[in-house]
Amino acid sequence: MLSVEHVTKRYGDFTALEDISLTFSPGVYGLLAPNGAGKTTLIKMLTTLLFPTQGQILWDGEDILSMGGDYRGLLGYLPQEFGYYPNYTPRQFLRYAAALQCIPRQEADRRIASLLEMVGLSDSMDTKLKKFSGGMLQRVGIAVAMLNDPKLLILDEPTAGLDPRERVRFRNLIHGFSKDRIVILSTHIVSDIETIASQIVLLRNHRLFCCESPAAICGRFLGKVFEVPAGTDLTAGQHLLSEAQGDGGTVLRILSDAPPQNAAPVTPGLEDAFLAIYREEGQL
Ligand SMILES: Nc1ncnc2c1ncn2[C@@H]1O[C@H](COP(=O)(O)OP(=O)(O)OP(=O)(O)O)[C@@H](O)[C@H]1O
């Protein structure tokens, strides 16, 4: 189990994260917040690339900084910018990554074959990476992060640049990986985690806003989201969340404590909740 205990991170005078406490157990966690909210800072502390200014991060009760290599041995990490050698094939690149992790050659080859199969790249294992699409490269990155069969898999904005088909494929892949490990993935794309994350961590104003299931987060706005026809004048207390295409043309999705005239509430989705939560701070 991974615990973040009262962690604060300051860059000089600027507080990027303040007093964050979180506990992670096996399952998929989505780290969702607008750009600049501190997702990467938190991930870098979870991967020991940055140190907390205050507080500590524990794995099964032990400080991850004092665990050193033992902690990194149970960690798989796909950074936002995944570096690779374009003239290597996936097989060569994974062998290289396995050698860096001191995984014996035979074991590495077995694992590489099974991982490339899992990420759907068996047929391209000897094709140079420079010929790969963004989605294929991302799958190579996931295979690298999974080489050591990590107990903790951390993916920083893994779906950036993927097309819709690749996004779906990615979601299925992550779901399969999460059975007996902690998967933490950061994103600002709501739909990427709505269906696969068991818990969603929301950061707001550099603090933890909540860590709840998607259903619980949406439940906060039950009876408060409505659709009204485009062009409706909104009164005080009615806040525009988004425009959408309804059966009869464009509709406005609004947040309101009281029902507007002739409007029935609609079931809030995670995107409504996200827009509602970050509306007040003008963070979007
Ligand atoms: N080395 C640094 N020195 C000063 N400020 C920094 C540094 N790194 C990050 N910040 C600031 O800390 C805040 C959080 O940055 P971080 O990269 O963690 O955000 P993020 O949520 O991951 O955003 P994005 O999705 O855009 O990557 C931002 O305001 C950023 O400008």
Average pLDDT over the chain reads: 90
If you write DSSP's letter for every residue of 152-197 in order, what string do you get? EEEEESTTTT--HHHHHHHHHHHHHHTSSSEEEEEES-HHHHHTT-
- How confident is the model at residue 280, as a pLDDT? 66
Q: What is the pLDDT of residues 92-103, one digit of tens each?
A: 999 999 999 889
Domain limits, CATH 3.40.50.300, in the chain: 2-216
- How confident is the model at residue 262, as a pLDDT? 74
- How confident is the model at residue 282, as a pLDDT? 55
For ligand 1, which residues put their CB under 6 angstroms from it?
A: 11, 14, 16, 33, 35-41, 188
pLDDT tops 70 at residue 284: no
- What spacing in Å lies between the alpha carbon of 38 and ligand 1's midpoint? 6
pLDDT-derived band of residue 59, with 50, 70 and 90 as boundaries?
very high
> Rounded CA gap, 181 and 198, in Å?
13
- What spacing in Å lies between the alpha carbon of 17 and ligand 1's midpoint? 10
The CATH code for residues 2-216 is: 3.40.50.300
- How confident is the model at residue 202, as a pLDDT? 94
- What spacing in Å lies between the alpha carbon of 143 and ligand 1's midpoint? 27
- How confident is the model at residue 91, as a pLDDT? 95
Pocket test for ligand 1, best of 8, 14, 154 (most atoms within 8 A of CB): 14
Q: What is the pLDDT of residues 42-57, one digit of tens each?
A: 999 999 999 999 999 9
- How confident is the model at residue 283, as a pLDDT? 46
pTM, rounded to two decimals: 0.89
Q: What is the pLDDT of residues 154-171, one digit of tens each?
A: 998 887 767 788 778 878
Residue 241 near residue 247 (C-beta atoms within 8 A): no
Task: Give nearest CA residue, ligand 1 atom 29.
Answer: 36
Structure tokens at 37: 């909210």
- How confident is the model at residue 167, as a pLDDT? 79
Q: Name the nearest CA neighbour of 146 among 99, 68, 78, 46.
A: 78
Q: What is the pLDDT of residues 64-115, one digit of tens each?
A: 999 988 999 999 999 988 889 999 999 999 999 999 988 999 999 999 999 9
ipTM of the complex: 0.95
Q: What is the pLDDT of residues 220-263, one digit of tens each?
A: 999 999 998 888 888 888 899 998 887 778 888 999 988 888 78
> Rounded CA gap, 55 and 53, in Å?
7
